[in-house]
Amino acid sequence: MAKKKSKKTTTKPQVKKAPTKEDESLVTFNISKQKNFSEWFTKIVQIAELADMRYGVKGFLVYQPWSTIAIKRMFDLYEQELEEFGHNPVIFPSVIPESNFQVEADHVEGFAPEVFWISSAGSTGMLEERLALRPTSETAMYPLYSLWIRSWRDLPLKLYQSGKVWRYEGKSTRPFLRGREFIWIESHNVFTTMEEAEAQTREDMQISINVMHDRFGIPFIQFQRPEWDKFAGAVHTYAADTLMPDGRFLQLPSTHLLGDNFSKAFGINYMDDEGVSHPAYQTCYGPAISRIFGGMIAVHGDDSGLIFPFEVAPVQVVIVPILAKKQATKVKNYAEELRMLVKAMGYRVQIDASDKRPGDKYYYWEMKGVPIRLEVGRREAKEDQITIFRRDNREKTIISKTELEATIKKVGADLNESIKERAQEFFDSRLASAETLNELVEHIKSRKMVKIPWCSIDLDGENCAEEIKDQLAGAEVRGIDVQETKIPSKDEKCFICGNQAKCFVYVGKQY
Amino acid sequence: MAKKKSKKTTTKPQVKKAPTKEDESLVTFNISKQKNFSEWFTKIVQIAELADMRYGVKGFLVYQPWSTIAIKRMFDLYEQELEEFGHNPVIFPSVIPESNFQVEADHVEGFAPEVFWISSAGSTGMLEERLALRPTSETAMYPLYSLWIRSWRDLPLKLYQSGKVWRYEGKSTRPFLRGREFIWIESHNVFTTMEEAEAQTREDMQISINVMHDRFGIPFIQFQRPEWDKFAGAVHTYAADTLMPDGRFLQLPSTHLLGDNFSKAFGINYMDDEGVSHPAYQTCYGPAISRIFGGMIAVHGDDSGLIFPFEVAPVQVVIVPILAKKQATKVKNYAEELRMLVKAMGYRVQIDASDKRPGDKYYYWEMKGVPIRLEVGRREAKEDQITIFRRDNREKTIISKTELEATIKKVGADLNESIKERAQEFFDSRLASAETLNELVEHIKSRKMVKIPWCSIDLDGENCAEEIKDQLAGAEVRGIDVQETKIPSKDEKCFICGNQAKCFVYVGKQY
């Protein structure tokens, strides 16, 4: 690395038309993410061409290339990690016969209100049996599991599938964060003992950390959810919450200890080595990649637009040639030489060869969140140098061509570390704890996620949770941090019922 | 490479139970693919655990890990190739509002009999508008295209998506080859001129060659389909046919020149540089990966089971430790050392550590189609050697550990070349040409794909094609080989109507 240029000023005109396109997509982006997060999110989805909301069916999103490429990378990283932990991929049908869907009572009660139903086909009219467009795949997969599993030798069975699910949600929908069609991975696992199933939920939480935190840079707490907020049919649900820039929580992957609830309902039994049959124990885990994508861009973006982690960026390196009349060809050739070099290194790279001014190109690619920009003009071409720009801290450095590979690798890794740390700092700054109801009220007003002593996350605590919701404008009890080791002292009471507190829970408001 | 062992004998007991599993999945596979192809296919799907047919909804398949891993690799290779040619990925909704579905008249007429309809959801009952579960995505994507495309600067637009489609087919279904839910890629492209659109169909056919032939080793002819066998709404359809081991054809990807049929219906217009608006020209291309997978295993397998091309094999290298009482630990450690080595080379590798006998393991992994097997016993462990077995020609070679990386690379590439050549030879042996109707009848009886002089592939040839179908028990006119340069002489007449032949077409029977 060589001389550092002075940091670029961030003062920009509010609106700046690009010369070569007429529509609004190329104006300079400048919205305060902290102050106007909702506007920031809505606008960046549109301006960065992440998704188009005009499909005409509520909650069904059109994913444009800029989000799709990143989402494909996110699937790759998640699937690799699942496979490292011994999960194998499968593809199950997207429809579930109504009779199978109704086998597990709690499950059907939980999901029936959200199911899209297929009841006719072609010109022949009605189907013999209605088909549910799957809202989740337990009742699709477990009838087959009951055929596949015979003896303890067939266990553990650890399978996952990547695909879409559909839920007829009543709540208002938001691109990526909440929709009626979403894109996810679901893993469904079977064991001989409850202990192994419990260990799987811990493994799932480790996978969440390895991928969502370490690779995507998203901070979160993993909670054991209260009894009244479990997955339909589960013994326990563990789920990760991150915080949006406005301090509201967003639920990320959850893992469910199903015990033998489904195995009894679907007849998933195994023979032990003495020939005795037992119901198996199960878990499932469901990282919703579309929502994690939404969370990721919300967490990392800044007032100028998106910032992608280096590994998942749709374009990792953009090359902007600065063409003067003199030596334009030489600069163009140099830019192309660099593109070939960077491509051969295995990165996703693009030259911006449009006839926009360099400054407009800079703003555009910063808004799009490209981690690294290479600027090449006459001087760079002449001296085999490159000016390299890093998106998150806006630092520019001049390097020689021979340093390019090492520099891209280092700048990419540094950017990842920096945005992860910055996101974690923000997250931590939004956590608080309260010792009185008044303190809780104040913290919730200032949009924090608040730790309080609590009577119980069993069903006997549900009334207190309802009370919290009423008194605090919808604030919800999120559960016990699975890493929490402290137990309330004798003096600590539940703020609502006044009973001795048995645990600490976090309370927050939903985005 | 060192000394070659004698080729292994292929005489095997008809049925051989493996000692550690009770069910039928581990018996030795031995079915003549040429003589009993239908049985071979049905059984290999089951015994190799490619797919489970017991889902309970006709035409909906459960893809087990052994097919899913290969299919994921096939998607990767296809998507990479599309991206090399400038296509970007998108994800569109799986449902289409009925009103959009009905915009293009020919298209709706062609697809309406095959649509699954969603008309209700949750407990709230009927939806405002019925939703089609997409049978193909023209009518999902093109309304958005009409919003995205404004000027010639927005063109060409080349997008693809990978996902599922659903078609309520009346015909009998077969795993992978024909189902009501299938897995594919569809690319949808827009241009300013018809010439560019035509060029795109040629590019699509090149992509088919680059991926299906060069990477998957599948032989095929690409045809211009007759007018009566076009995609609903297309100007022309070009499609690849391969041949199954019984000489019947299987349709592989098709590419469609849509002209301005859909752009006029959906209002996809662009402004030229003088501000004048024109309808755009379109193409679409649809490689059905699930069907290509089915075709691939049918083309390459032998009487002992599957043979996967090296790149797409779910496991590329299997290691079988041969454990005697003496030095079992040393052999185990050596096998594990090799596994780590091969994994570090980037291959999918697995040790078979089960307590089956080595011979049973050999049969099992041969049936599963693993390209390369490493056998390691006492001698190999002692001398840092490996016995390497190649699935397609059953050759065994002893190599030293230092040769492993180069040998795997070479054996994998050689296997690919060999199975590609063998498949092409079989394909060519099943082609024939006929100069009289009698010759055609004889060739069709012996299950060949037959080239004949033909009156016309325009609509005026349809009656003759119907006549062929009637007289030759369902044989179909597949169209003109796009690489055909010969034109019929004056003496050559259509066998049916006796009119002067305008072209040569191929006739064959469907699998």
Residue with tokens 């649809």: B286
The answer, for B95 touching chain A at a CB cutoff of 8 Å, is yes
Q: Which residue has the tokens 């004698």?
A: B6
- From first to last of the 511 residues of chain B, give the pLDDT tens digit: 444 444 444 334 333 333 344 444 455 899 999 999 999 999 999 999 999 999 999 999 999 999 999 999 999 999 999 999 999 999 999 999 999 998 888 888 888 889 999 999 987 778 889 999 999 999 999 999 999 999 999 999 999 999 999 999 877 889 999 999 999 999 999 999 999 999 999 999 999 999 999 999 999 999 999 999 999 899 999 999 999 999 999 999 999 999 999 999 999 999 999 999 999 999 999 999 999 999 999 999 999 999 999 999 999 999 999 988 888 899 999 999 999 999 999 999 999 999 899 999 999 999 999 999 999 999 999 999 999 999 999 999 999 999 999 999 999 999 999 999 999 999 999 999 999 999 999 999 999 999 999 999 999 999 999 999 999 989 999 999 999 999 999 999 999 999 999 999 999 998 8
Which pLDDT belongs to residue A374? 98
How far apart, in whole angstroms, are the C-alpha atoms of residue B60 and residue B101?
23
Which amino acid, residue B119? S
Chain A residues with CB inside 8 Å of B150's CB? Answer: 22-23
Q: Which two tokens stand for residue B324?
A: 């005697």
User: Amino acid identity of B176?
Assistant: F
Instruction: State pLDDT tens for residues A181-200.
Output: 999 999 999 999 999 999 99
Q: A465 to chain B nearest CA, in Å?
A: 27
Asked if residue A1 has pLDDT above 80, the reply is: no
Q: Which residues of B touch A148 (CB under 8 A)?
A: 52
Alpha carbons A384 and A401: distance in angstroms, whole number: 6
Integer angstrom CA distances of residue A472 from A201, A428, B97: 32, 22, 40
Q: Which residue has the tokens 């909906």?
A: B60
Residue A397, Cα to own-chain centre: how many angstroms? 32
Positive or negative: CA dihedral B485, B486, B490, B494: negative
Whole-number Cα distances in Å, A130 to A102, A115, A127, B410? 12, 11, 6, 53
Q: Nearest 5°: phi and psi at B71?
A: -65, -40
Q: What are residue A398's DSSP bridge partners? A: A387
Q: Provide the shortest C-alpha distance from residue B429 to chain A (in Å).
A: 36
Q: Which residue has the tokens 């890794």?
A: A413
* pLDDT for res A24: 42
Closest in B62, B63, B119 to A119, CB measured? B119
Please report the beta strands in A260-381, taking only residues with DSSP state E, as ranges in sequence order: 269-271, 277-279, 281-285, 317-321, 349-351, 372-376
Tell me if chain B has a CB within 8 Å of the CB of A56: yes
The residue in chain B having the minimum alpha-carbon distance to the alpha carbon of residue A154 is B21
Q: What is the DSSP letter of B174?
A: B
CB A267 within 8 A of CB A139: no
With bands split at pLDDT 50, 70 and 90, how would you rate the model's confidence at A13?
Answer: very low
Question: Hey, what are B395's tokens?
Answer: 């050759």
pLDDT score of B27: 56
Which of B62, B69, B91 lies closest to A92 in CB terms?
A: B62
For residue A108, what pLDDT is reported? Answer: 86
Which residues make beta-bridge pairs with B67?
A: none
Place of tokens 């199954």: B244
ipTM (interface pTM): 0.93
Q: Which residue of A lies nearest to B62 if distances are taken between CA atoms?
A: A92
Report the Cα–Cα distance between both ends of chain B, in Å, rounded. Answer: 43
pLDDT tens readout for residues A292-319: 999 999 999 999 999 999 999 999 999 9
Does B171 contact chain A (CB < 8 Å)? no
pLDDT band for position A325 (cuts 50, 70, 90): confident
* Domain A317-410 of CATH type 3.40.50.360: no
Question: Residues 126..165 of A with a Cβ closer than 8 Å to B: which?
Answer: 131, 133, 140, 143-144, 147-148, 150-151, 153, 159, 161, 163-164
* Set of chain A residues whose Cβ sits within 8 Å of the Cβ of B164: 94, 163-164
**Rg of chain B (C-alpha set):** 26
Q: Is residue A426 within 8 angstroms of chain B, CB to CB?
A: no
> Which among A63, A120, A122 is the nearest to B119, CB-wise?
A120
CA-CA distance, A87 to A71, in Å (whole number)? 20
- Residue in the structure block whose two tokens are 């959009």: B100
What are the domain boundaries of chain B? Answer: 62-299, 317-411, 431-508
Full strand arrangement of the beta sheet holding B317-321: B349-351, B317-321, B372-376, B385-390, B396-400
CB contact under 8 A, B117 and A116: no
Q: Is A172's pLDDT higher than 90?
A: no
User: How much of chain A exceeds pLDDT 90, in percent?
Assistant: 87
Which residues from B are below 8 Å from A68, CB to CB? Answer: 88-91, 161
- By Cβ distance, the residue of B23, B90, B94 closest to A164 is B94
User: Is pLDDT at A103 greater than 60 in this prediction?
Assistant: yes
**CB-based contact, A21 to chain B, within 8 Å:** yes
Contact across the interface for B116 and A118, Cβ inside 8 Å: yes
pLDDT digit string (tens) for A456-484? Answer: 999 999 999 999 999 998 999 999 999 99
Which helix (DSSP H) or strand (DSSP E) does residue B334 occupy? helix B328-344
Collect all residues of chain A within an 8 Å Cβ-Cβ radius of residue B112: 122-123
- The C-alpha atoms of residue A173 and residue B459 are separated, in whole angstroms, by 49
Q: Classify B317-411 by CATH class.
A: alpha beta
Contact list in A for residue B93 (CB cut-off 8 A) is 55, 57, 60-62, 181
Which of A26, A49, A62, A290 to mutate to test binding with chain B, by most B CBs within 10 Å of its CB?
A: A62
Neighbours of A282 (CB within 10 A): 29
CA B359 vs CA B17, B319, B322, B356, B374: distances in Å: 12, 13, 10, 8, 13
Report which of B164, B192, B160 is spatially closest to residue B81, judged by C-alpha positions: B160
Residue showing tokens 């594990």: B336
Q: CB-CB: which of B54, B140, B150 is closest to A144?
A: B54
Count A/B contacts: CB-CB distance under 8 Å: 157
Asked whether residue A19 carries a pLDDT value surpassing 60, the answer given is no
Q: Provide the 3-class DSSP secondary structure of residue B221.
A: strand
Q: Residue B336 burial by CB count (10 A; 0-12/13-18/19+): exposed, middle or buried? A: middle
How far apart are alpha carbons A462 and A226 in whole angstroms? 8
Q: Is the Cβ of B181 closer than 8 Å to some Cβ of chain A?
A: yes
Domain A62-299 has CATH 3.30.930.10: yes
Instruction: Please give the Cα distance from B161 to A199 (Å, whole number).
Output: 37
What rounded mean pLDDT belongs to chain A? Answer: 93
DSSP tag of A27: S
Q: Which of B186, B245, B181, B189 minimizes the C-alpha distance to B218?
A: B245
Q: Tell me if B9 sits within 8 A of B24, measured CB to CB.
A: no
Closest chain A C-alpha to B422 CA, distance in angstroms: 31
Cross-chain CB nearest to A181 (options B93, B114, B119):
B93
Q: Is the pLDDT of residue A102 over 70?
A: yes
Residue B19 touches partner A, C-beta closer than 8 Å: no
Between vectors from CA B399 to CA B395 and to CA B403, what angle results, nearest 5°? Answer: 120
SS3 for B304-327, per residue? Answer: CECCCCCCCCCCCEEEEECCCCCC
The answer to whether A277 faces chain B, any CB pair under 8 Å, is no
- The Cα–Cα gap between B101 and A430 comes to 48
Nearest CA in chain B to A49: B148
Chain A residues with CB-CB distance to B143 below 8 A: 55-56
- What residues pair up with A231 in beta bridges, in sequence order? none
Contacts of A122 (CB under 8 A, 6+ apart): B112, B113, B114, B115, B168
> Tokens 């009518």 identify what position?
B139
CA distance A69 to chain B (A): 7
DSSP states of B56-89: SSTT--EE-HHHHHHHHHHHHHHHHHHHHTT-EE
Q: Which of A309, A313, A324, A317 is nearest to A386 (CA)?
A: A317
Q: Within an 8 Å CB–CB cutoff, is residue B498 touching chain A? A: no
HSE-up of B509 (CA within 13 Å, CB side)?
Answer: 20
Q: How far apart are the first and last CA of chain A?
A: 43
CB B438 within 8 Å of CB B488: no
Q: Nearest chain A Cα to B113, which residue? A: A122
The span from the CA of A334 to the CA of A353, in Å, is 13
SS3 assignment, position A4: strand
Q: Do B120 and A117 touch (CB under 8 A)?
A: yes
| Residue B146 CB coordination number (10 Å) | 18
Contacts of A56 in chain B (CB under 8 A): 97, 100, 143
A23 min Cα distance to partner chain B (Å): 9
3-class DSSP state of B264: helix
Rounded Cα–Cα distance for residues A265 and A109 (Å): 14
Residues in chain B: 511
Query: Which residues from chain B sit within 8 angstroms of residue A151, using beta carbons?
Result: 22
pLDDT in tens, A64-100: 999 999 999 999 999 999 999 999 999 999 999 999 9
Whether B20 and A153 lie within 8 Å, measured CB to CB: yes
Q: What is the CATH number of domain A431-508?
A: 3.30.110.30
Contact present, A160 and A188 (Cβ < 8 Å):
yes
Q: How far is CA A340 from CA A343, A349, B459, in A?
A: 5, 9, 49
